[in-house]
Amino acid sequence: MQERLGEDLVVLRRFARDTAPALMTTVAAVAAQAPLRHMVTPGGHSMSAAMTCAGALGWVTDARGYRYQGCDPETGRPWPVMPEIFAELARQAAAAAGFPNFVPDACLVNRYQPGAKMGLHQDKDEKDLSWPIVSVSLGLPIVFQFGGPKRSDRPQRIVLEHGDVVVWGGSARLHYHGVLTLKAGQHPLTGGFRYNLTFRKAG
Ligand code: MD3
Ligand code: FE
């Protein structure tokens, strides 16, 4: 099923359901090399979702600000290479939404435990904002908020469930977005967590 929520925002319901078990095995392999951690914002707050990255570039936040960089600050090593199964899923989803030839160089992995959330924000640290962002939701459902180009624009809410893939491009690319607090639950594949993979062309 494919829904368009406004211009340039395509929800591919359950697009990743069949690959989800292999994606989760791969997330575990990535996290074994680059541990999930709660990064600290420039304002000194710990993010409630645990994060790690794969690919040539990874997103980091610390006292100095937000940026992409090639090495994991926790380990000093390059981020794990972008798994082929990740890149292929992102390419297929982007193509299905009308963005052919998407080759992501960064995958951010967010792991939400009950109580975790992500406030409204824009993603604008990527060099070329004409590429879309592809997001893959795994495990427990969450309420996603999708606003407009201004923080004060009233957000729409949609529930993102296991296997849902969303492609954000064009005008949607710079819209404010976030997720509400994760409610406790159990999912057969991810246990008490929700995972979100976002694929970006950052460099
Ligand atoms: C719309 N993650 O990692 S995914 C993020 O569920 C992030 O973990 C949320 O926002 C999560 O930055 C939401 C959906 C998403 C991701 C990036 C976007 C929506 C977006 C970039 C631009 C517009
Ligand atoms: Fe975001």
Over range 146-174, report the average pLDDT: 94
Dihedral angle over CA of 97, 123, 156, 184, nearest 10: 100
Query: How far is residue 96 CA from its own chain's centroid?
Result: 18
Average pLDDT, the chain: 95
Domain spans in the chain, listed from the N-terminal domain onward: 2-200
- Per-residue model confidence as pLDDT tens digits over 53-108: 999 999 999 999 999 999 999 999 999 999 999 999 999 999 999 999 999 999 99
186 CA from centroid of ligand 1 (Å): 23
107's tokens: 């995958």
7 pLDDT exceeds 70? no
User: Is the minimum distance from the CB of 52 to ligand 1 under 6 angstroms?
Assistant: no
Distance set, CA 166 to CA 134, 171, 172, 203 (Å): 6, 14, 11, 21
Report ipTM for this prediction. 0.95
User: Is the minimum distance from the CB of 196 to ligand 1 under 6 angstroms?
Assistant: yes
157 pLDDT exceeds 70? yes
Considering every ligand atom shown, identify the ligand nearest to the alpha carbon of residue 47 and give its number: 1
- Per-residue model confidence as pLDDT tens digits over 109-138: 999 999 999 999 999 999 999 999 999 999
Q: How many CB atoms are closer than 10 A to CB 61?
A: 18
Phi and psi angles of residue 28, each rounded to the nearest 5 degrees, phi first: -65, -40
Strand partners for 51: 37, 110
Question: What pLDDT band is residue 5 in, cutting at 50, 70 and 90?
Answer: low
The residue nearest atom 14 of ligand 1, judged by CA position, is 135
What would the CATH number be for the domain defined by 2-200?
2.60.120.590
